[in-house]
């Protein structure tokens, strides 16, 4: 199938670290070959004075940036913002981000999905009140309630006993740890494109041995970091014996249905979500986290996927502008997402 070429200028507004990882020469070259020009938004200048842009691709936060996007939208009503700040902000709270999972309805599947049992703790008094978390079984993972991409929001802890709860700093989410075979599935969503990959995760916790460590609380910034730490320190060679290639992937149709449901409910096009398989039930999957505009460069062939998405957006935008309807629609086989422009 021949690739179509659609002209368009996309301004990207990204933090330096995100820009360095995402905006690679390989992406710029491929996008340009399809008529898509990616232009850096100068953070030292008002957005409204830059461009013209057919689309603004962004991952910046704060009231000033939201104001700039609103002004830009007022001045250039036909421009597309990917994605809407209001939709992104839902993912900044670890409770609201997963509430959407309960709204999904996936039909005719033998596999089931949900989220781990979890509670939110807003203050120290509640944290130290046994009745507040009596429904949870240890170990639990403690995560900051705020998930805004900052270093602080990534500071998590695996907590084995209630004796160390006083070391935690509310507001936090306590999420029951579920054995999942030491493997996490990361599902990347780019518009209608869905890609699932597998990564090493936390080892299972047995009754006799708790991950091979003596501490009652282990801090980490990412699941993969703690996994690497344990790989160096475990005595039973857990990770040396485990082969990711031996781990069966979730059914692709099942993952795609969840991804499309989340995309529709969240009104987002660029995100990923982390899934684990509950070791107690072979067909039970738990969504534990959702992230906006993740590290797509870690996804094999991300340049082609993102470039095709940009072309799809530009095509629909052009078609709708010609029809004079003022809306841009990006379609999937069984779902349509509309962007107000």
∠ CA(322), CA(326), CA(331), 5° rounding? 85
User: Does residue 243 have a known ligand-binding role?
Assistant: no
Exposed, middle or buried, 171 (CB in 10 Å: 0-12/13-18/19+)? Answer: middle
User: Does residue 39 have a known ligand-binding role?
Assistant: no
Q: Are residues 43 and 99 in the same domain?
A: no
* Segment (H or E) for 289: strand 284-292
User: Does residue 179 have a known ligand-binding role?
Assistant: yes
Contact assessment for residue 13 and residue 37, using Cβ atoms and an 8 Å cutoff: no
Q: Are residues 109 and 210 in the same domain?
A: yes
Q: Give the pLDDT of residue 323.
A: 80
pLDDT per residue rounded down to tens, the chain (341 residues): 445 566 799 999 999 999 999 999 999 999 999 999 999 999 999 999 998 999 999 999 999 999 999 999 999 999 999 999 999 999 999 999 999 998 898 876 789 999 999 999 999 999 999 888 788 998 999 999 999 877 788 889 999 988 888 899 999 999 999 999 999 999 999 999 999 999 999 888 887 655 444 568 888 765 544 444 444 444 344 445 556 778 899 999 999 999 999 999 999 999 999 999 999 998 999 999 999 999 999 998 999 999 999 999 999 888 878 887 544 444 444 444 444 32
Q: What is the CATH number of the domain that holds 26?
A: 3.40.50.11370
**For the whole model, what pTM was predicted?**
0.86
User: Does residue 330 have a known ligand-binding role?
Assistant: no
User: Does residue 176 have a known ligand-binding role?
Assistant: yes
Q: Give the pLDDT of residue 210.
A: 52
Residue 329: other Cβ atoms inside 10 A: 13
User: Does residue 143 have a known ligand-binding role?
Assistant: yes
Q: Give the pLDDT of residue 203.
A: 87
Q: Are residues 249 and 111 in the same domain?
A: yes
Q: 269: Cβ–Cβ under 8 A, 6 or more apart, which residues?
A: 82, 83, 189, 190, 191, 263, 309, 330, 337
Q: Are residues 273 and 203 in the same domain?
A: yes
Q: Are residues 197 and 57 in the same domain?
A: no
Domain count, the chain: 2
Task: Tell whether 334 is covered by a domain.
Answer: no
User: Does residue 310 have a known ligand-binding role?
Assistant: no
Q: Are residues 228 and 308 in the same domain?
A: no
User: Does residue 291 have a known ligand-binding role?
Assistant: yes
Residues 3-50 pLDDT 10s: 556 679 999 999 999 999 999 999 999 999 999 999 999 999 999 999
Q: 292: Cβ–Cβ under 8 A, 6 or more apart, which residues?
A: 59, 83, 88, 91, 268, 270, 271
Q: Are residues 96 and 209 in the same domain?
A: yes
Task: Tell whether 323 is covered by a domain.
Answer: no
Residues 185-231 pLDDT 10s: 999 999 999 999 999 998 888 876 554 445 688 887 655 444 444 44
User: Does residue 233 have a known ligand-binding role?
Assistant: no
Task: Tell whether 248 is covered by a domain.
Answer: yes
User: Does residue 59 have a known ligand-binding role?
Assistant: yes
User: Does residue 295 have a known ligand-binding role?
Assistant: yes
Q: What is the CATH number of the domain that holds 97?
A: 3.30.470.20
Q: Give the pLDDT of residue 244.
A: 72
Q: Are residues 200 and 73 in the same domain?
A: no
User: Does residue 111 have a known ligand-binding role?
Assistant: no
Task: Tell whether 155 is covered by a domain.
Answer: no
Task: Tell whether 34 is covered by a domain.
Answer: yes
Distance CA 76, CA 73 (A): 5
Q: Give the pLDDT of residue 319.
A: 83
**Residue 308 CA: distances (Å) to CA of 7, 14, 33, 311, 313:** 12, 20, 11, 5, 9
Contact assessment for residue 154 and residue 240, using Cβ atoms and an 8 Å cutoff: no
Task: Tell whether 94 is covered by a domain.
Answer: yes
Q: Give the pLDDT of residue 225.
A: 46
Side-chain-side CA neighbours of 109 within 13 Å: the count stands at: 19
Task: Tell whether 324 is covered by a domain.
Answer: no
Q: In 3D, which of 207, 210, 214, 203 has the Cα closest to residue 237? A: 203
User: Does residue 185 have a known ligand-binding role?
Assistant: yes
User: Does residue 137 have a known ligand-binding role?
Assistant: no
Q: Are residues 225 and 309 in the same domain?
A: no
Q: Are residues 103 and 220 in the same domain?
A: yes
User: Does residue 175 have a known ligand-binding role?
Assistant: yes
Q: Give the pLDDT of residue 264.
A: 95
Q: Are residues 214 and 280 in the same domain?
A: yes
| Residue range(s) defining the domain that contains residue 33 | 8-83+302-316
Q: Are residues 188 and 267 in the same domain?
A: yes
User: Does residue 45 have a known ligand-binding role?
Assistant: no
User: Does residue 124 have a known ligand-binding role?
Assistant: no
Contact assessment for residue 76 and residue 52, using Cβ atoms and an 8 Å cutoff: yes
Task: Tell whether 341 is covered by a domain.
Answer: no
């Amino acid at each position: 199938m021949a690739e179509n070429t659609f002209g368009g200028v996309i301004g990207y507004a990204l933090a330096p670290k995100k820009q360095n990882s995402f905006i690679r020469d390989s992406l710029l070259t491929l996008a340009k070959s399809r008529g898509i020009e990616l232009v850096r938004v100068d953070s030292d200048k008002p957005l409204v004075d830059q461009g013209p842009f057919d689309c603004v691709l962004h991952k910046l936060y704060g009231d000033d940036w939201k104001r700039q996007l609103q002004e830009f939208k007022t001045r250039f009503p036909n421009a597309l913002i990917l994605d809407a700040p209001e939709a992104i902000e839902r993912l900044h709270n670890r409770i609201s981000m997963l509430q959407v999972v309960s709204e999904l309805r996936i039909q005719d599947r033998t596999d089931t999905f949900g989220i781990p049992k979890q509670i939110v703790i807003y203050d120290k008094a509640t944290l130290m009140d046994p009745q507040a978390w009596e429904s949870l079984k240890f170990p639990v993972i403690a995560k900051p309630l705020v998930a805004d991409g900052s270093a602080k929001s990534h500071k998590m802890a695996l907590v084995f006993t209630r004796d160390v709860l006083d070391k935690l700093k509310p507001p936090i989410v306590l999420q029951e740890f579920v054995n999942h075979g030491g493997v996490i599935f990361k599902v990347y969503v780019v518009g209608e494109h869905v890609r699932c990959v597998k990564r090493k995760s936390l080892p299972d916790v047995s009754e006799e041995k708790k991950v091979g460590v003596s501490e009652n609380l282990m801090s980490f910034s990412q699941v993969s970091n703690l996994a690497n730490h344990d790989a160096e320190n475990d005595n039973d060679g857990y990770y040396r014996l485990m082969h990711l290639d031996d781990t069966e992937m979730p059914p692709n149709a099942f993952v795609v249905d969840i991804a499309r449901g989340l995309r529709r409910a969240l009104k987002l096009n660029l995100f990923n979500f982390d899934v684990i398989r509950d070791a107690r039930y072979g067909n039970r999957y738990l969504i534990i986290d959702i992230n906006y505009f993740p590290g797509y460069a870690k996804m094999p062939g991300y340049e082609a996927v993102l470039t095709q998405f940009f072309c799809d957006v530009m095509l629909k935008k052009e078609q709708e502008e010609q029809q004079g309807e003022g809306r841009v629609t990006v379609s999937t086989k069984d779902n349509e997402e509309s962007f107000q422009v």
